[in-house]
Amino acid sequence: MTYSPPVEEQRFLLRHVVRIDELAGHNLFAEATPDLVDAIVAGAGDFAAGIFAPLNRTGDAIGAKWTPDGVILPTGFREAYRAYVEGGWNTLAGPADFGGQGLPLSLATVVMEDLGSANMGFSLVMMLSPGAVESLIHHGSPELQEAWLPKLVTGEWTGTMNLTEPQAGSDVGALKTRAEPTGDGSYRIKGQKIFITFGDHDLTDNIVHLVLARLPDAPRSTKGISLFLVPKMLPDGQANDLRCVSIEHKLGIHAAPTCVMSYGDGDECVGWLIGEENKGMAAMFTMMNNARLYVGLQGVSIAERAMQQAIAYARERVQGSREGRPARIVEHPDVRRMLLRMKALTQAARALAYYTSGQIDRGNVGDEAAKTRADLLTPLVKAYGTDVGVEVTSLALQVHGGMGYVEETGAAQHYRDARISPIYEGTNGIQAADLVGRKIGLEGGEVLARLIAQMRAEAGDETRLMYLVNDCEAAGWSILGAGMDDRLAASYAFLAMLATAVSGWLMARQLAALDGYDGNPAFAQMKRAAARYYLDQIVPETQGKFAAAMATADILYSVPEEAFAA
């Protein structure tokens, strides 16, 4: 089953959730005219469906392969990547000073969604480079920018993100990779990184690694980490002293090589500092925030793809009867429940992701309140989007019955692919910790308070949503006043509540926008049903998490650790 881009939905969201016309009113985004926006949405969908989607099964069945000469992708991937670069898709939201088109991130979000739906594993290589670009723009010296940005912006080179080491996963501060200054402005990098996505591949001539490492005598913890640009190929055309030692065998995203990277086996690995010494986490966070938004979006992408397949299957598979005649399973109430739930969850998570990218765009044109709101929402997009991805792909598999569990239909691949997204880019547990540990306390709680106030003002008629918003407010203040263990114990429940409240508010906004809508009637019918289902059934379900969001950590620590193994 191929991918059919949800063009109507994407346009509707850009218009009513992102409100892209407001953005186009700003000088920086003046080129994002309605005609251009429509053309990009249509073109991205066609490109993803036509060029990337046909490679999805090959990517899974054959996958990336390690060879002594480097990692190779299956036949067709190089050509598809070249088409992506030549089509200018990588340049969309790139900085105009370095060859980018300077269009809103919210528009690039649509493209990334399509690529992820078409081929999630492959799309990772496209997803990481924009973060490297962002990091260089905000923290790189003019010399580094000049040398590395232009080809990263076009996509002629790709970027990676190197944080993880065997002993340093969620605890990035535990990393041991070292960087020694050489005196000529460069550094010698030495160490091993694991789990590096697209750490090596044969799609481009060069790969620009962003590597976290420690200087000699750097303070322990995250305060002693610096960020380095470490290219596969040096500017003089020589290969740098780094290599991919092996790649992982894993549950899904087989098209994306997950590399063990060794830097400086011969003590000759050259890197350059990005930003200031010992300030690497700030530079890396610039990259990670971008990637967190896109990983949350991956949940939406894979949910959309899996859902489309489940709907097609449900409309064909005959089983049981209705009104005395053989029925296709789409006619059964419980299958309808699954299909509508998938629609509602996917649309809601998409609205949350698009809205947040629109807030980032507003932040980029100087709207400080939008910028801090995007900071608050980013962990919600990442965790909620990816949890939705897992739930929807699981439901899609369920709709297929036994045929979903066998590989033949492809439903299983979506489920396997989706499962990584709550883990990487900071596990969802870490997102929840970020929410209660840092984000809800932004400006002394004012950022959260403003969000709650806006939701309350705009969602007054939606009684169930109002209850959830009230609960979010009560839980939010209770968590802010609690000790750290109690905050963390409540964190996941609170994240789910707040993400559902924001998504519910955005679904209500879409429902209201349908009043003046004169487009495709089937789209409007489904939008109305999905929004109503979300507001009437999913919102109250999430309200049930209030008890957990208000609870302390006492129950969790009421038993000794040994009792878990009893």
Ligand X SMILES: Cc1cc2nc3c(=O)[nH]c(=O)nc-3n(C[C@H](O)[C@H](O)[C@H](O)COP(=O)(O)OP(=O)(O)OC[C@H]3O[C@@H](n4cnc5c(N)ncnc54)[C@H](O)[C@@H]3O)c2cc1C
Closer of 13 and 430 to ligand X (Cβ):
430
Closer of 54 and 173 to ligand X (Cβ):
173
Q: Which stretch binds ligand X (CB under 6 A): 130-138, 191-199, 527-535, 546-554?
A: 191-199
Within 315-445, where are the H helices? 333-364, 368-399, 402-405, 411-418, 428-434
Q: Does 195 bind ligand X (CB under 6 A)?
A: yes
From 58, 90, 158, 197, residue interacting with ligand X (rule: CB under 6 A): 197
Closer of 384 and 424 to ligand X (Cβ):
424
Burial class, 185, CB count within 10 angstroms (exposed 0-12 / middle 13-18 / buried 19+): exposed
Is residue 379 within 8 Å of residue 41, measured between CB atoms? no
Q: Does 164 bind ligand X (CB under 6 A)?
A: yes
Q: How far is the CB of 369 from ligand X (least distance, A)?
A: 30
**Considering only CA atoms, which of 361, 219, 191 is closest in space to residue 281?**
219
Q: Which stretch binds ligand X (CB under 6 A): 378-386, 428-436, 466-474, 515-523?
A: 428-436
Looking only at residues 111 through 150 of this chain, which bind ligand X when binding is defined by CB under 6 A?
none
Looking only at residues 475 through 494 of this chain, which bind ligand X when binding is defined by CB under 6 A?
none
Cα Rg for the chain, rounded, in angstroms?
23
Is residue 120 within 8 Å of residue 298, measured between CB atoms? yes
Which tokens hold the place of 318?
Answer: 């005959």
Is residue 214 within 8 Å of residue 206, measured between CB atoms? no
Q: How far is the CB of 291 from ligand X (least distance, A)?
A: 9
Closer of 127 and 535 to ligand X (Cβ):
127
Chain mean position to CA 10: 17
Which tokens hold the place of 50?
Answer: 């036509």
Is residue 481 within 8 Å of residue 475, measured between CB atoms? no
From 141, 186, 398, 427, residue interacting with ligand X (rule: CB under 6 A): 427
What is the spatial distance between Cα 433 and Cα 332, in angstroms, rounded to a whole number?
41
From 73, 283, 344, 420, residue interacting with ligand X (rule: CB under 6 A): 420
What is the spatial distance between Cα 465 and Cα 476, in angstroms, rounded to a whole number?
16
Spell 81-108 as b/e; 16+ CB within 10 A means b.
beebbeeebbbbbbbeebbbbbbbbbbb
Q: How far is the CB of 211 from ligand X (least distance, A)?
A: 9
Q: How far is the CB of 6 from ligand X (least distance, A)?
A: 26
- Residue whose beta carbon is closest to ligand X: 169
Q: How far is the CB of 285 from ligand X (least distance, A)?
A: 13
Q: How far is the CB of 564 from ligand X (least distance, A)?
A: 14
From 14, 24, 103, 161, residue interacting with ligand X (rule: CB under 6 A): 161
Closer of 305 and 416 to ligand X (Cβ):
416
Burial class, 184, CB count within 10 angstroms (exposed 0-12 / middle 13-18 / buried 19+): exposed
Is residue 90 within 8 Å of residue 155, measured between CB atoms? yes
Looking only at residues 396 through 415 of this chain, which bind ligand X when binding is defined by CB under 6 A?
none
Which candidate in 134, 165, 425, 462 is catalytic?
425
Looking only at residues 506 through 535 of this chain, which bind ligand X when binding is defined by CB under 6 A?
none
- 101 Cβ contact list (under 8 Å, min separation 6): 31, 88, 91, 92, 93, 94
Q: Does 430 bind ligand X (CB under 6 A)?
A: yes
Q: Does 433 bind ligand X (CB under 6 A)?
A: yes
Q: How far is the CB of 258 from ligand X (least distance, A)?
A: 4
Q: End-to-end distance of the chain based on CA atoms, in angstroms?
A: 47
331 has catalytic annotation: no
From 98, 424, 492, 546, residue interacting with ligand X (rule: CB under 6 A): 424
Is residue 232 within 8 Å of residue 240, measured between CB atoms? yes
Instruction: Write each residue from 248 to 287 as x if it is in contact with ligand X (CB under 6 A), else as -, in one continuous string.
Output: --x-------x-----------------------------
Q: Does 321 bind ligand X (CB under 6 A)?
A: no
Count of residues of this chain found to bind ligand X when the rule CB under 6 A is applied: 20
- Give the residues lining the site for ligand X (CB under 6 A): 161-164, 169-170, 195-197, 250, 258, 420, 423-427, 429-430, 433
List the catalytic residues. Answer: 425
